[in-house]
């Protein structure tokens, strides 16, 4: 039988190699799960296992059926082998040298050949099912995650989500695939052995079998205790790792602040605890197998004694007694493994609930039924626009818009603003005043808590999300690039863009020359997160990516603030051409960069307090004037100092 539990790996079973691999994987994942013990998991959901199993079973029915068939074959062959031994012994006693050993040898060989073929097939098929389940569950979860709104990601840490998609799903896929095999092998195998034992001799069979439920209960108890103790060891181990990690990563700070002794002390305390817990764990593990073996041996001894008497009085054949003893010993493996498998299913319930809980989260922002219907009609009518509405954005209006990320903590209050297409709107104001929130609302990453945001006079909730968001180009303060070539990063904004379009986008933002200076030009590989490029290089590439699909609205949130002056100069030069005729919202702390904006909105604590172009606001001598003067003076002082 296949075994995923380290405690129940049986030496000499036909599939120890696969078991060992599973056991190692299981330990790794369990460690990760235990290390997350303190995390919030989604509330337990009724029937989570049933739903998830059904989700896995439906698209992979064929593989499941093959595994069940192979498991049943293995169980039946394994149970029948001992009957061949019984027949040989009985014939030997009855026929002596007349026995046809060749016949039995051939039968035995044939059965073993089928058995081995079944094992080979199920290792392949179950492994395939496990990886297909992993793939399809990860795909579904990933697709679902991509459909969720920003607010969901505000509340759930990236690490937590990654664990769901990686280790939880890996564990579930493995438990479902190998668990199906084990249960459909183990349970029929146990039933077959029980039946044969009772048929061979009802009285002895019942006496021996009466001891087995007790064995299962004791094994379960041991399993639970070993598991608890292993968890304690692992938790202490992760604390130790964290202390080690912090001490090494912060070695400079520790040295400067003379904290080495305290760090050592903390390490010593946890090390001593780990030593104690490991000893206890070893004690339990080392007692488990001898105890179980002793238990089985007692049961076999009782069987041998009672069966021996029956052989002597002639009510039982010698072959039956041999078969009896062999079956009794064989019972231990499937019983331990089935109980272990059930315990593992139970332990995986938390993973299942978390994954099902994740799949159940509804996106807070999605197309309404009305919009979805419009999209169906538009598709039927062959419209160019996904929802059949206006293609061109001619006006944007914030009508009494208020917003709060958290209840009772308003970030934006009664914000009113209207603009025609093609204008450059600058948003200025102190940190935390609500500038990014305004553009997040505009791109419908969040929706107003009250009020309306209108596009061409229509509440934007009456347009499809796909249409609206495909009309935006966004450049953020911290550019994010994906692993791949520079060209593929630019193309991310328009997947079907030709090489010429990629180059034209780069040229439009003055990034072409800089890219050509890189070792492999447009084919230069970007490492994870763009770590091998400077912030300026990354920003220029993300700028090209934002404009390659020629968005109607361009948002730049502090896009030039983290780049060096030379790159900023390059960006500013290209900005004029890129912004011309395009509606753009520019957030900038450096006011000199937004002087040319058509309209400047001064935001303070979520309210629009001043509005107008640079000259009008300077003439007004209000908040903007004050901010500008202050920055101007600071910049002048800085330039005098560098001269």
Ligand X SMILES: Nc1ncnc2c1ncn2[C@@H]1O[C@H](COP(=O)(O)OP(=O)(O)OP(=O)(O)O)[C@@H](O)[C@H]1O
Which residues of the chain form contacts with ligand X (CB under 6 A)? 154, 405, 411, 429, 431-437
Map tokens 């308003």 to a residue: 410
**411 or 486: whose CB is closer to ligand X?**
411
Cα gap 213→203, rounded to integer Å: 17
Q: How far is the CB of 240 from ligand X (least distance, A)?
A: 35
**154 or 260: whose CB is closer to ligand X?**
154
Q: How far is the CB of 577 from ligand X (least distance, A)?
A: 26
Q: How far is the CB of 15 from ligand X (least distance, A)?
A: 50
Listed residue (227, 233, 254) closest to 243, CA to CA:
254
**333 or 610: whose CB is closer to ligand X?**
610
**154 or 362: whose CB is closer to ligand X?**
154
Q: At what angle do helices 48-57 and 169-200 cross, to 10 degrees?
A: 90
Cα gap 330→88, rounded to integer Å: 19
**154 or 360: whose CB is closer to ligand X?**
154
Burial 618-636 (b: 16+ CB within 10 A, else e): eeeeebbeebbeeeeeeee
Q: How far is the CB of 436 from ligand X (least distance, A)?
A: 3
Our CA angle for 115, 120, 122, nearest 5°, is 95
**74 or 474: whose CB is closer to ligand X?**
474
Q: How far is the CB of 433 from ligand X (least distance, A)?
A: 4
Which 3 state secondary structure label does DSSP give 448?
coil
**29 or 557: whose CB is closer to ligand X?**
557
Which 3 state secondary structure label does DSSP give 384?
coil
**344 or 610: whose CB is closer to ligand X?**
610
Q: How far is the CB of 418 from ligand X (least distance, A)?
A: 20
Cα gap 583→595, rounded to integer Å: 16
**123 or 404: whose CB is closer to ligand X?**
404
Q: How far is the CB of 438 from ligand X (least distance, A)?
A: 7
- Inter-residue contact 177 to 71 (CB < 8 Å): no
Q: Residue 440 belongs to what H/E stretch?
A: helix 435-442
Sequence-separated (6 or more) residues with CB below 8 Å from residue 21: none
**67 or 401: whose CB is closer to ligand X?**
401
CA dihedral 609, 614, 617, 623 (to 10 degrees): 60
- Inter-residue contact 171 to 198 (CB < 8 Å): no
Cα gap 62→491, rounded to integer Å: 40
Q: How far is the CB of 424 from ligand X (least distance, A)?
A: 18
Which tokens belong to 265?
Answer: 């002390």
Cα atoms in the 13 Å half-sphere on the side-chain side of 576: 6
Cα gap 237→574, rounded to integer Å: 54
DSSP string, 294-306: HHHHHHHHHHHHH
Q: How far is the CB of 154 from ligand X (least distance, A)?
A: 4
Strand partners, 66: none
Q: How far is the CB of 440 from ligand X (least distance, A)?
A: 7
């Amino acid at each position: 039988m296949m075994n995923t539990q380290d405690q129940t790996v049986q030496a000499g079973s036909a599939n120890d190699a696969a078991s060992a691999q599973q056991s190692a994987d299981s330990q790794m994942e369990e460690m990760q799960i235990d290390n997350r013990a303190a995390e919030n998991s989604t509330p337990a959901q009724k029937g989570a296992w049933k739903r998830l199993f059904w989700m896995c079973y439906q698209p992979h029915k064929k593989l499941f059926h093959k595994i069940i068939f192979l498991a049943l074959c293995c169980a039946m062959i394994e149970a029948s082998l001992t009957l061949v031994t019984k027949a040989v012994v009985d014939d030997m006693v009855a026929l002596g040298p007349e026995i046809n050993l060749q016949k039995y040898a051939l039968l035995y060989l044939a059965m073993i050949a089928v058995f081995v073929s079944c094992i080979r097939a199920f290792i392949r098929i179950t492994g395939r099912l496990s990886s297909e389940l992993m793939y399809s569950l990860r795909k579904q979860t990933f697709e679902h995650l991509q459909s969720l709104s920003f607010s969901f990601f505000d509340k759930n840490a990236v690490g937590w989500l990654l664990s769901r998609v990686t280790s939880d799903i890996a564990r579930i896929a493995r438990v479902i695939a190998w668990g199906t095999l084990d249960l459909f092998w183990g349970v029929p195998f146990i039933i077959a052995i029980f039946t044969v034992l009772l048929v061979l001799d009802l009285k002895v069979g019942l006496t021996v079998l009466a001891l087995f439920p007790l064995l299962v209960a004791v094994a379960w108890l041991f399993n639970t205790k070993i598991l608890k103790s292993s968890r304690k060891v692992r938790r202490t181990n992760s604390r130790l790792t964290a202390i080690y990690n912090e001490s090494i990563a912060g070695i400079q700070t520790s040295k400067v602040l003379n904290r080495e002794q305290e760090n050592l002390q903390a390490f010593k305390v946890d090390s001593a605890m780990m030593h104690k817990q490991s000893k206890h764990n070893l004690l339990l593990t080392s007692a488990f197998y001898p105890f179980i073996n002793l238990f089985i041996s007692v049961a076999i001894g009782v069987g041998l004694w009672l069966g021996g008497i029956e052989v002597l009085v002639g009510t039982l054949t010698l072959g039956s007694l041999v078969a009896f003893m062999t079956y009794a010993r064989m019972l231990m493996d499937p019983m331990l493994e089935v109980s272990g498998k059930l315990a593992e299913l139970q332990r995986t319930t938390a993973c299942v609930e978390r994954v099902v809980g994740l799949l159940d989260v509804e996106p807070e922002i999605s197309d309404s039924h009305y919009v979805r219907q419009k999209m169906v009609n538009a598709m039927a009518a062959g419209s160019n626009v996904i929802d059949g509405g206006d293609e061109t954005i001619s006006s944007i209006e914030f009508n009494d818009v208020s917003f709060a990320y958290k209840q009772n903590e308003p970030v934006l209050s009664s914000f009113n603003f209207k603009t025609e297409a093609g204008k450059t709107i600058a948003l200025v104001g102190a940190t935390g005043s609500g500038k990014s929130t305004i553009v997040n609302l505009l791109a419908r990453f969040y929706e107003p808590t009250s009020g309306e945001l209108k596009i061409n006079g229509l509440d934007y909730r009456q347009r499809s999300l796909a249409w609206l968001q495909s009309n935006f180009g966004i450049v953020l303060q911290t550019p994010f690039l994906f692993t791949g070539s520079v060209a593929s990063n630019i193309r991310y904004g328009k997947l079907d863009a030709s090489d010429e379009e990629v180059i034209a986008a780069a040229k439009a933002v003055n990034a072409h020359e800089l890219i050509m200076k890189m070792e492999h030009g447009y084919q230069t590989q970007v490492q994870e997160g763009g770590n091998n490029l400077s912030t300026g290089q990354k920003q220029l590439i993300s700028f090209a990516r934002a404009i390659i699909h020629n968005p109607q609205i361009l948002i730049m949130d502090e896009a030039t603030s983290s780049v060096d002056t030379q790159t900023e100069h390059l960006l500013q030069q290209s900005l004029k051409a890129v912004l011309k005729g395009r509606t753009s919202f520019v957030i900038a702390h450096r006011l000199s960069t937004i002087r040319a904006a058509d309209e400047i909105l001064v935001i303070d604590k979520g309210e629009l307090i001043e509005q107008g172009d640079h000259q009008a606001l300077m003439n007004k001598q209000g908040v903007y004037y004050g901010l500008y003067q202050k920055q101007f003076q600071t910049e002048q002082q800085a330039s005098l100092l560098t001269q």
